[in-house]
Amino acid sequence: MILDRRKMIAGAAGSAALVLLPIPAAATSLHPEVDAALRDILAGRTPREAGIDIDAPAVAENGAQVPVTIRVESPMSAEDHVTAIHIVATANPAPGIGSFHLTPHLARAEVFTRIRLAEEQAFLVLAELSDGRVLQAAARTAVTIGGCTT
Protein backbone atom coordinates (compact mmCIF):
# COMPACT_ATOMS: atom_id res chain seq x y z
CA MET A 1 0.00 0.00 0.00
CA ILE A 2 1.44 3.37 -1.01
CA LEU A 3 0.56 6.37 1.14
CA ASP A 4 -0.13 9.59 -0.71
CA ARG A 5 1.13 12.57 1.33
CA ARG A 6 -1.75 14.86 0.31
CA LYS A 7 -4.41 12.28 1.20
CA MET A 8 -2.73 11.63 4.54
CA ILE A 9 -2.57 15.35 5.40
CA ALA A 10 -6.17 15.89 4.29
CA GLY A 11 -7.33 12.93 6.39
CA ALA A 12 -5.44 14.16 9.44
CA ALA A 13 -6.87 17.66 9.03
CA GLY A 14 -10.39 16.24 8.76
CA SER A 15 -9.91 14.15 11.89
CA ALA A 16 -8.55 17.13 13.79
CA ALA A 17 -11.53 19.24 12.71
CA LEU A 18 -13.94 16.63 14.08
CA VAL A 19 -12.13 16.59 17.42
CA LEU A 20 -12.13 20.39 17.65
CA LEU A 21 -15.82 20.85 16.93
CA PRO A 22 -17.68 21.63 20.15
CA ILE A 23 -20.80 19.63 20.80
CA PRO A 24 -23.90 21.16 22.35
CA ALA A 25 -24.34 20.18 25.98
CA ALA A 26 -28.01 19.34 25.49
CA ALA A 27 -27.21 16.88 22.69
CA THR A 28 -24.88 14.66 24.67
CA SER A 29 -25.93 11.39 26.25
CA LEU A 30 -24.95 11.84 29.89
CA HIS A 31 -24.42 9.63 32.91
CA PRO A 32 -26.73 10.05 35.92
CA GLU A 33 -23.89 11.73 37.87
CA VAL A 34 -23.44 14.30 35.09
CA ASP A 35 -27.19 14.91 34.91
CA ALA A 36 -27.24 15.49 38.69
CA ALA A 37 -24.28 17.90 38.53
CA LEU A 38 -25.98 19.88 35.75
CA ARG A 39 -29.30 19.96 37.65
CA ASP A 40 -27.48 21.37 40.69
CA ILE A 41 -25.82 24.12 38.65
CA LEU A 42 -28.82 24.99 36.49
CA ALA A 43 -31.44 24.92 39.27
CA GLY A 44 -34.28 24.83 36.73
CA ARG A 45 -32.77 27.38 34.33
CA THR A 46 -32.25 26.68 30.63
CA PRO A 47 -28.71 27.37 29.39
CA ARG A 48 -28.04 29.22 26.15
CA GLU A 49 -25.20 28.44 23.69
CA ALA A 50 -23.33 31.77 23.50
CA GLY A 51 -20.52 33.93 24.77
CA ILE A 52 -18.03 31.32 25.99
CA ASP A 53 -14.64 30.69 24.39
CA ILE A 54 -12.82 27.48 25.43
CA ASP A 55 -9.14 27.11 24.64
CA ALA A 56 -8.17 23.45 25.17
CA PRO A 57 -5.97 21.04 23.22
CA ALA A 58 -7.61 18.69 20.73
CA VAL A 59 -5.25 15.96 21.95
CA ALA A 60 -3.71 15.84 25.43
CA GLU A 61 -0.75 13.59 26.00
CA ASN A 62 -1.38 13.36 29.74
CA GLY A 63 -5.00 13.29 30.91
CA ALA A 64 -3.91 14.24 34.43
CA GLN A 65 -2.92 17.77 33.33
CA VAL A 66 -4.98 19.14 30.45
CA PRO A 67 -4.59 22.94 30.20
CA VAL A 68 -7.86 24.83 29.71
CA THR A 69 -8.56 28.56 29.42
CA ILE A 70 -12.15 29.77 29.52
CA ARG A 71 -13.23 33.28 28.55
CA VAL A 72 -16.78 34.58 28.90
CA GLU A 73 -17.97 37.72 27.11
CA SER A 74 -19.02 40.14 29.84
CA PRO A 75 -18.54 43.81 30.72
CA MET A 76 -17.83 42.70 34.32
CA SER A 77 -19.67 45.71 35.73
CA ALA A 78 -21.63 45.75 38.99
CA GLU A 79 -24.89 45.45 37.02
CA ASP A 80 -23.75 42.86 34.46
CA HIS A 81 -21.08 40.30 35.31
CA VAL A 82 -20.25 36.60 35.42
CA THR A 83 -20.80 35.19 38.90
CA ALA A 84 -19.52 31.64 38.33
CA ILE A 85 -17.88 29.37 35.76
CA HIS A 86 -18.36 25.61 36.10
CA ILE A 87 -16.55 22.76 34.28
CA VAL A 88 -18.22 19.34 34.05
CA ALA A 89 -16.63 16.25 32.46
CA THR A 90 -19.00 13.86 30.72
CA ALA A 91 -16.99 10.64 31.18
CA ASN A 92 -14.94 11.10 34.37
CA PRO A 93 -15.70 9.01 37.47
CA ALA A 94 -16.43 12.34 39.25
CA PRO A 95 -17.94 14.77 36.70
CA GLY A 96 -17.59 18.03 38.65
CA ILE A 97 -14.13 19.27 37.66
CA GLY A 98 -14.33 22.73 39.14
CA SER A 99 -16.31 25.86 39.91
CA PHE A 100 -14.88 29.36 39.92
CA HIS A 101 -16.73 32.22 41.60
CA LEU A 102 -16.13 35.67 40.12
CA THR A 103 -16.91 39.22 41.20
CA PRO A 104 -17.46 42.40 39.17
CA HIS A 105 -14.09 43.65 40.47
CA LEU A 106 -12.29 41.46 37.93
CA ALA A 107 -11.23 43.09 34.67
CA ARG A 108 -12.50 40.14 32.61
CA ALA A 109 -14.27 36.84 33.07
CA GLU A 110 -11.40 34.45 32.38
CA VAL A 111 -10.04 31.40 34.18
CA PHE A 112 -7.10 29.13 33.48
CA THR A 113 -6.69 25.72 35.04
CA ARG A 114 -5.46 22.21 34.38
CA ILE A 115 -8.12 19.52 34.45
CA ARG A 116 -8.11 15.72 34.67
CA LEU A 117 -9.79 13.71 31.97
CA ALA A 118 -10.18 9.94 32.21
CA GLU A 119 -10.47 9.36 28.46
CA GLU A 120 -11.42 11.10 25.24
CA GLN A 121 -14.54 13.04 26.06
CA ALA A 122 -16.49 16.24 25.89
CA PHE A 123 -16.42 18.60 28.81
CA LEU A 124 -19.05 21.22 29.42
CA VAL A 125 -18.61 24.80 30.59
CA LEU A 126 -21.48 26.70 32.18
CA ALA A 127 -21.27 30.39 33.07
CA GLU A 128 -23.76 31.92 35.49
CA LEU A 129 -24.52 35.61 34.97
CA SER A 130 -25.59 38.19 37.55
CA ASP A 131 -29.07 38.47 35.96
CA GLY A 132 -29.68 34.72 36.47
CA ARG A 133 -29.03 33.58 32.89
CA VAL A 134 -26.72 30.64 32.19
CA LEU A 135 -24.46 30.34 29.15
CA GLN A 136 -22.99 27.04 27.98
CA ALA A 137 -20.34 25.65 25.66
CA ALA A 138 -18.65 22.30 25.12
CA ALA A 139 -15.28 21.10 23.91
CA ARG A 140 -13.81 17.69 23.16
CA THR A 141 -10.30 16.53 24.01
CA ALA A 142 -8.70 13.20 23.13
CA VAL A 143 -6.43 11.78 25.84
CA THR A 144 -3.51 9.44 25.12
CA ILE A 145 -2.93 8.52 28.79
CA GLY A 146 -5.96 8.80 31.10
CA GLY A 147 -5.73 11.01 34.16
CA CYS A 148 -8.36 9.34 36.35
CA THR A 149 -8.70 5.91 37.87
CA THR A 150 -11.94 4.26 38.91
Please give the Cα distance from 145 to 123 (Å, whole number). Answer: 17
Q: Is the pLDDT of residue 68 over 70?
A: yes
pLDDT, residue 31, reads: 83
82-131 pLDDT, tens digit each: 999 999 999 888 899 999 999 999 999 999 999 998 889 999 999 999 99
Could you give the CA distance from residue 132 to residue 46 in angstroms, rounded to a whole number? 10
Give every CB contact of residue 61 below 8 A, 6+ residues apart in sequence: 144, 145
pTM of the shown model: 0.78
Q: What is the model's pLDDT at position 92?
A: 87
122 and 90 in contact (C-beta within 8 Å)? yes
- Res 12: pLDDT: 45
Determine the topology of domain 5-145 in CATH.
Immunoglobulin-like (2.60.40)
